[in-house]
């Protein structure tokens, strides 16, 4: 699996012109997949890649999720000359599930609300919403209070949305004990 994810980063579309620094990153990812020494960004992409190969759709959305707030991810690359988009994790195998990564607008309330709804309708997918910085989640507090922490009890509505809160400062993010227990649930695909 590790090598397959590395190979996906080595197979650029024909004529695709990547920024020289990002070309080094792509080469490093191939090397990590062969020799070890895996960094955080590539480890995350390997986790997503293994899920899509196993048939689990992965959807990652946030204000800078394609690149990663701290420039660690680079899940999507842009051709320097044409602007063409290339997402390596969409090309691991022919039978894989979907991998989607989007940059959202700077409205935590709207973006998290949409991803919450998406996760309710797509319960067998891994749906992740990433705040650009952990304390940005405060703008989505209503979604946390009214839906994520209580919708199952209120309406029997289950959500599998995962919140990624980089550099969250617990003192600034108001997480209630009920939200904390909801957030600690793990992702388990349904079996029919």
User: pLDDT per position in the chain (192 positions), as tens?
Assistant: 999 999 999 999 999 999 999 999 999 999 999 999 999 899 999 999 999 999 999 999 988 888 886 677 899 999 999 999 999 999 999 999 999 999 998 888 899 999 999 999 999 999 999 987 766 788 888 898 889 888 989 999 999 899 988 765 543 445 555 555 444 444 444 444
d(CA 111, CA 125) in angstroms, rounded, equals 17
d(CA 56, CA 67): 22
> Is residue 85 within a helix (H) or strand (E), and if so which, with residue range?
strand 85-86
Distance, in Å, from the CA atom of 102 to the CA atom of 79, rounded to the nearest integer, reads: 17
pTM of the complete model? 0.83
85-86 and 77-78: which strand pairing? antiparallel
CA–CA dist 76, 94 (Å, integer): 19
Domains for the chain: give ranges and CATH numbers: 1-55+74-97 (no CATH), 104-192 (3.40.50.12470)
67 is written with which tokens?
Answer: 């690149």
CA distance 3 to 30: 8
């Amino acid at each position: 699996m590790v090598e397959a994810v590395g190979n996906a980063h080595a197979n650029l579309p024909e004529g695709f012109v990547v920024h020289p620094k990002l070309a080094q990153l792509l080469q490093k990812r191939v090397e990590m997949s062969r020799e070890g020494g895996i960094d955080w960004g590539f480890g995350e992409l390997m986790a997503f890649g293994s899920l899509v190969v196993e048939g689990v759709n992965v959807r990652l959305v946030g204000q800078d999720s394609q690149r990663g707030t701290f420039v660690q991810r680079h899940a999507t690359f842009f051709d320097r000359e044409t602007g063409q988009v290339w997402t390596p994790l969409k090309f691991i195998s022919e039978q894989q599930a979907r991998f989607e990564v989007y940059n959202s607008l700077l409205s935590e309330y709207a973006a998290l609300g949409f991803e919450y709804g998406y996760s309710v309708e797509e319960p067998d997918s891994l749906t992740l919403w990433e705040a650009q910085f952990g304390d940005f989640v405060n703008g989505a507090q209503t979604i946390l209070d009214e839906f994520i922490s209580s919708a199952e009890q209120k309406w029997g509505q289950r959500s599998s949305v995962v919140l990624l809160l980089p550099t969250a400062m617990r003192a600034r993010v108001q997480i209630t004990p009920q939200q904390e227990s909801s957030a600690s649930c793990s992702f388990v695909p349904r079996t029919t």
